[in-house]
Amino acid sequence: MMDSKLRALAFGGLGLLSVFATAVSHAVDDSEGASAAGLTIRLSGADIAAPPSIALPPGRVVTVSFTDASGSPWPLAEVVVPDTGLSHRQYSSHPHLVLLERRSKGAPANLVALLDGLSWPVHLELTSARAGAPTRIEVRLSDVRGGAGLDTASREKADASAAGGAGFDQAVREYLLSNPDVLREALDPARQLASRAEARRADLLEGAGVPVLGNTSGNVTVVEFFDYRCGFCKRSIEAVRTALTRANVRLRMLEYPILGEGSALAARAALAAARQGAYRRLHFALMEHEGEYDEASIREIATNLGLDVEQLVMDASLPEVQAKLDANRALAADLGVTGTPAFLVFGPDGVQVSPGALDADRLGAMIDAAGGKRD
């Protein structure tokens, strides 16, 4: 018991304490003026179902800065902007800033920002605008780094526990020296993900309502978190197809729409298609689609596949479909999966993870390493 407590506290000392999420909300604060000068957007919560829309003026650079609730800069770990006529730049001297420029009118895009120490991605819908739109945008987030969501008494108790004095510090030091894997795991995101995946193995391998492809009795299970609008997910299609040719492999497909409403529409349609026994066909058709995802485009894709489109539309709106997406999102947050794709490969010899795009050779090697038998 003492070891488990020290391990948790040691991780806390390394800045890896769990995030306490507040209720989902967002509001645009135009107290500074919504003119060309600037705009402040305040966000809170672990999941933003409807990302705020930001209008980008054509031909001008827009500065987007990320701060905590007090206005202090919040460094960015990564920024993803789909290639839809937008460009973005970052500078090491100002790690909390992103410079955006709309090269062409293009379709609406989505900015996904991963902030240091924040376990959920921040999404901003980027749309076109006429001249006069703000060119300086500040995204101010609830200070969840400091434990937002704790009442005063709980926070005081947590602070008291953390301030255990020299004896506590010495105990943590001795524990880390005796268990170097804890420190290595803390500094290696892939090891963190693998550890958390093992802890949630039953949910990842047996959770209800997840579409399964390949051999349902295979001795290796590939779990993929993905988004249909994610370019890196699309690049991994052939790796997934190749894995499906192996007789010992099953794939569990976790819809994880994090790139806006188009992603959510596609994900709901795919889960609805499973009710017609057509998940695999619609999944790959949606992945191969190169345009936007809206009701019209999804109807066209489903019609071309011979699906019952009206039934698909009705099933996509079922509460259990949205519940599955919510469950996937919660599971991803618990694992620390903040982007797509993420591949987890479970086998007799443990779990292999890849938080990012991969090719067929890489996924095949992960399957082998997990104990997969060659056909």
At 187, which helix (H) or strand (E)? helix 180-187
Confidence at 271, pLDDT banded by 50, 70, 90: very high
Task: Say if 192 falls within a structural domain.
Answer: no
Do residue 140 and residue 162 come from a single domain? no
At 68, which helix (H) or strand (E)? none
Task: Say if 193 falls within a structural domain.
Answer: no
Give the total number of structural domains in the chain.
Answer: 3
Task: Say if 209 falls within a structural domain.
Answer: yes
Do residue 329 and residue 261 come from a single domain? yes
Give the total residue count for the chain. Answer: 375
Do residue 90 and residue 181 come from a single domain? no
The whole model's pTM is what? 0.56
- For the segment 19-45, the average pLDDT, to the nearest whole number, is 49
- The better pLDDT of the pair 331, 62 is held by 331
Count the Cβ atoms, other than its own, within 10 Å of residue 314.
12
Question: 318: helix, coil or strand?
Answer: coil
- What is the domain range of residue 357? 199-369
Asked if residue 160 has pLDDT above 70, the reply is no
Are 355 and 231 a contacting pair, CB within 8 Å? Answer: no
Task: Say if 375 falls within a structural domain.
Answer: no
Alpha-carbon distances of 87 from 90, 124, 167, 182, rounded to whole Å:
11, 15, 52, 39
Do residue 320 and residue 274 come from a single domain? yes
Asked if residue 116 has pLDDT above 90, the reply is no
- The better pLDDT of the pair 333, 151 is held by 333
Beta strands in the chain (DSSP E): 25-29, 39-44, 53-56, 61-67, 76-80, 86-91, 94-102, 109-115, 122-128, 136-141, 212-214, 220-226, 249-255, 342-347, 350-354
Do residue 211 and residue 80 come from a single domain? no
Confidence at 347, pLDDT banded by 50, 70, 90: very high
165 alpha-carbon distance from chain centroid: 37
